[in-house]
Structure 1
């Protein structure tokens, strides 16, 4: 993330989360701070105990980030807070007699005219630019590894029995390894951060249509409702970030 002084763009965000139609507890969490350029979605890792605690600890850690002095400062602060959250998750696991705890994360950092995406697990970041939707993250899952090895096709991976098995997370007993991509922002860019409760039900073409056809509040609600109408088998969370947009949206928790 290298700042270009002449480019001072800002992200305006709206976030929504829903427990879904099957689960009893929402283990997703999201974080939005427009003034600091930090946006994130966390999904308490499937199959792990206390996923809500893990995702909440990450959210609380991100809330302690200070207004950054530079892009490098923002990246350092973010990585430091994630390390802190992992330590807290490890401690919570020890207090629970070694119970496994973990969460995915998909984060967008913006500063000046630049952005960075950092992630671990299968929560995703998309970018809509000039009518073209691009997935910026690559799932850290067993299914994706098999796709990369040409063992499964993308369509086969969507129905793979172990498609929800993640290979990276912020969790107890798991080495912390965040992947990072970065690039330049453009006015008019729209980013989507989401948990797999969305992408498990809606394909990229449908997601792109919802993102292109409405204001951020309406797009977020349409995406969430689309996942619910397709079964809502998991918690679902979406955060939409418009770059250099007008106004900002308030996040909400739907029950």
Structure 2
């Protein structure tokens, strides 16, 4: 009897970032490793130099993740790298006379047929499945807390004066608290990881329409240009991950 091989899925990604129309420096960065199943967006805070350094230190830490042996191994490696990055950010802060440094993170981890999203701050992960867009993350912001308490509506939160104040981050002054959601992958899933430079300008209905725009590279350009056309008041970063069957010679990895 011929043995039936279990389907192995893999994420194929496109990442893009833009400084926007107002900021002098891009404090956003992103990380993509299709082979290891790690995709992330970081949005630095603390001033131009400090924010870019913080997000870059997280990106650099993620590059040291080894080929995972299991989903649990990938998750453990990812979390350990963020602990390392936080230590490096705090050291850099001390060397800069206590200058505040921090960064958000929104990440997608994939292994075989499973995924996990981990995040801290207001960068987001969305999933487009069968034409339906779903926000998988919940913003760690003062505005979102007030929405959860029914003090503000979602519409009011978009213009709330303190909407950019985040309650979780990787950096100085805050404990490292990651939130996690997980689930199963399906061939044809499309994930979007983005900084708030996108969601601050485009609502979910527009994001969903642009995300369905054919190839990932076209969709990514459309999202970036959409934010720029609406003012581009912040750095904007997107990573689009398309889930498909892995080539046969890669099935052994998983």
- TM-score normalised by length of structure 1: 0.93
What is residue 85 of structure 1 aligned with on the other side?
85
Alpha-carbon distance in structure 2 between the residues aligned to 1:117 and 1:87: 22
Structure 1 segment 41-190 matched on structure 2, within 5 A: 41-45=41-45, 50-190=50-190
Structure 1: which 4+ aligned runs deviate by more than 6 Å? Answer: none
Distance 1:149 1:49, change over 3 A: farther
**Number of matched pairs:** 243
| Structure 1 vs Structure 2 CA RMSD | 1.4
**Cα drift, residue 212 of structure 1:** 1.1
What is residue 231 of structure 2 aligned with on the other side?
231
Question: Are the counterparts in 1 of residues 188 and 242 from structure 2 also a CA contact under 8 Å?
Answer: yes
**Cα drift, residue 7 of structure 1:** 3.6
Alpha-carbon distance in structure 2 between the residues aligned to 1:245 and 1:111: 12
Structure 2: give runs of 5+ residues left out of the alignment: 248-254
Structure 1 segment 173-252 matched on structure 2, within 5 A: 173-244=173-244
What is residue 25 of structure 1 aligned with on the other side?
25
**Cα drift, residue 132 of structure 1:** 0.3
Question: Are the counterparts in 2 of residues 49 and 99 from structure 1 also a CA contact under 8 Å?
Answer: no
Structure 1: give runs of 5+ residues left out of the alignment: 248-255
Distance 1:48 1:100, change over 3 A: farther
Partner of 1:6, secondary structure, is coil
Distance 1:236 1:114, change over 3 A: same
Report the structure number with the largest CA radius of gyration: 2
